[in-house]
Structure 1
Amino acid sequence: MRTLYFDCFSGISGDMVIGALIDAGADPFQMEEELKKLNIEEEYTLSWEKVVKNGITSTKFDVILSRKPEHLHEHIQSHEQHHHHEHSHYNDHSHDHEQSHILDHNEHSHSNSNSHEHHHHHDHRTYKQIVEIINEANFNASVKNMSLAIFKKIGEAEGHIHGLPLEKVHFHEVGAVDSIIDIIGAAILINQLGIQSVLSSAIPTGSGHIHIDHGIYPVPAPATLEILKGVPIAASDIRSELATPTGAAIAAVLAESFCPLPTMTVESIGYGAGTKTFKNHPNVLRIIIGEMQ
């Protein structure tokens, strides 16, 4: 059985998953073409490149937003520079942009010091709208079902935390585009590679605190922790947010079990890079693809 193993020794995020899949031999150009079925390609461009993280060659994947109205300019600049883990509010958190953009309702502040909330209220997509664009995109059943299940996992977690029904969960436009591309792109590449089963290591979440829209929160952030209910979490003394809501949801939904590296014949290995560089280990997600008996 063709199996994919997530080796999350430095955590997991959506962009790291796609980088690792490309690094393992998936075709990003085919993914780019498939993503056009969503009819939102005017909102973003994709980039991927080889980078070296603490001696390991890996692939860095980024979603670069196309529309830059003035009120979003400062945020988007920050997003492009720091797509995986580059801010240093408090304890070197990583992806608070992803956490802070998978949002809740119309009561959050537009003036928080992260410069992450300079949006108008119409700059968002609801969970229901995201489901509609996925259903209308004419993906094959595997890609569609994977994508919908992952988005539902995130939406339910956010709804639970904020006391909202699923249909009232909002995804801010900037964060939603990231999440849509990372989640559906991952589903496209996993399907493309003919993966029949997914396994994962325990998920390290990091430690310390992050600054998100509602204030200073402990790591793991509430949405990430809610998503990881029932999933083994690995202790980590790294003071950074290692697992993001999107990465956590990809692992939580797709992995059939969380275990050490299984007995398998390895066929390909991929490393997906985060942005931040840690002193003592490479900030990458490793995936291992092979045949299990």
Structure 2
Amino acid sequence: MRKVLYFDCFSGISGDMTIAALLDTGISLEWLESQLLKLHVEQKYELKLNKVIKNGINSNHFDVIFEEASDHHDHKHETDHHTHHHRTYKDIVQMIENSELNESVKTMALDMFRVIGEAEAKIHGIDLDHVHFHEVGAIDSIIDIVGVAILIDHLGIDQIISSPVPVGSGHIHIDHGIYPVPAPATLEILKDIPIKNTKVVGEMTTPTGAAIIKTLVSRYGEIPNMKVNKIGYGAGTKTFPTHPNVLRIMLGEGN
């Protein structure tokens, strides 16, 4: 029997929802924290995990809190604030490669970042090495992506299957103005992946969530034939009026 993980993304997917759902299968936050220390992130951050009720479902909610969240306001007068507050794709690759994480975690994390980097490079018409991530956003993405890789590796998963991915509707504000949902990077990453129409207004799938799906999932469809051993619920930050904004995962044995 193979260890199968099913992503039931009826409400989309993001990095923090994925970590929350994976931790909900019984992995301690302290253990994840100790693994993430291998990354040597210089910026001080704290991981928070708490239970929230989303439209009646008791779910894990994961968050990264920055101790110096107001930091970027203090540097406005500095001409070099870009060097302070942006990390390039190359910096992130270096950080992961130089970490003490095991090879399979490094490979998974680098694959996810490459997918995001390539989408951003294509959309903005720039080289991959010049793609930059805003400082806080970068650390957030690094923790989400590396955290997911650590947890998937720890669970010893043989195959990941996912439902089609709903992207949401409406508009979002991004650095470059107001864009329709899905955001350009999310849509680029989700090429060749079954996406799902939904009337929910809002961004349901983020670029990080899309990258997790793109790099880890081997097939798409309804719940597969499997014996479910563990179920995890990871809550998103938004609350939708008509359905719970959670990612449900099923962990078990399949053929």
Q: TM-score range by the shorter chain?
A: over 0.9
Residue of structure 2 equivalent to 1:291: 253
Q: 1:120 aligns with which of 68, 72, 81?
A: 81
1:247 maps onto 2:209 in alignment: yes
Alignment of 1:205-224 (within 5 A): 205-224=167-186
Runs ≥4 in structure 1, deviation > 2 angstroms?
Answer: 68-73
List runs of 5+ in structure 1 lacking aligned partners.
Answer: 74-109, 111-118
Following TM superposition, by how much is the alpha carbon of 1:165 offset from its aligned partner in structure 2, in angstroms?
1.2
Letter in 1 for 2:114: K
1:14 maps onto 2:15 in alignment: yes
Residue of structure 1 equivalent to 2:63: 62
Task: Report if the CA contact (8 A) 2:20-2:235 is conserved.
Answer: yes
For the residue of structure 2 that corresponds to 1:125, the secondary structure is: strand
Task: Report if the CA contact (8 A) 1:55-1:282 is conserved.
Answer: yes
For the residue of structure 2 that corresponds to 1:3, the secondary structure is: strand
1:279 maps onto 2:241 in alignment: yes
For the residue of structure 2 that corresponds to 1:266, the secondary structure is: strand
1:194 maps onto 2:156 in alignment: yes
Following TM superposition, by how much is the alpha carbon of 1:70 offset from its aligned partner in structure 2, in angstroms?
5.2
Letter in 2 for 1:35: L
Letter in 2 for 1:29: E
Alignment of 1:26-37 (within 5 A): 26-37=27-38
Residue of structure 2 equivalent to 1:203: 165
Separation in structure 2 between the aligned mates of residue 285 and residue 41 of structure 1, nearest angstrom: 30
Q: Which structure shows the bigger proportion of residues in strand conformation? A: 2
Task: Report if the CA contact (8 A) 1:26-1:192 is conserved.
Answer: no
Letter in 2 for 1:120: H
Task: Report if the CA contact (8 A) 1:60-1:272 is conserved.
Answer: yes
Residue of structure 2 equivalent to 1:85: none
User: Percent identity, aligned pairs only?
Assistant: 58
Task: Report if the CA contact (8 A) 1:49-1:59 is conserved.
Answer: yes
> Number of matched residues?
249
Following TM superposition, by how much is the alpha carbon of 1:259 offset from its aligned partner in structure 2, in angstroms?
1.1
Separation in structure 1 between the aligned mates of residue 42 and residue 219 of structure 2, nearest angstrom: 35
Following TM superposition, by how much is the alpha carbon of 1:28 offset from its aligned partner in structure 2, in angstroms?
2.1
Provide Cα deviations, 1:1-23, integer angstroms capped at 9, x if missing partner.
Answer: 10111100000000000000011
1:172 maps onto 2:134 in alignment: yes
Following TM superposition, by how much is the alpha carbon of 1:155 offset from its aligned partner in structure 2, in angstroms?
0.1
For the residue of structure 2 that corresponds to 1:121, the secondary structure is: helix
CA-atom RMSD, angstroms?
A: 1.5
TM-score (norm: length of structure 2): 0.94
Separation in structure 2 between the aligned mates of residue 50 and residue 29 of structure 1, nearest angstrom: 16
List runs of 5+ in structure 2 lacking aligned partners.
Answer: none
Following TM superposition, by how much is the alpha carbon of 1:196 offset from its aligned partner in structure 2, in angstroms?
1.3
Residue of structure 1 equivalent to 2:116: 154
Task: Report if the CA contact (8 A) 2:17-2:234 is conserved.
Answer: yes
Letter in 1 for 2:20: G
TM-score (norm: length of structure 1): 0.82
For the residue of structure 1 that corresponds to 2:112, the secondary structure is: helix
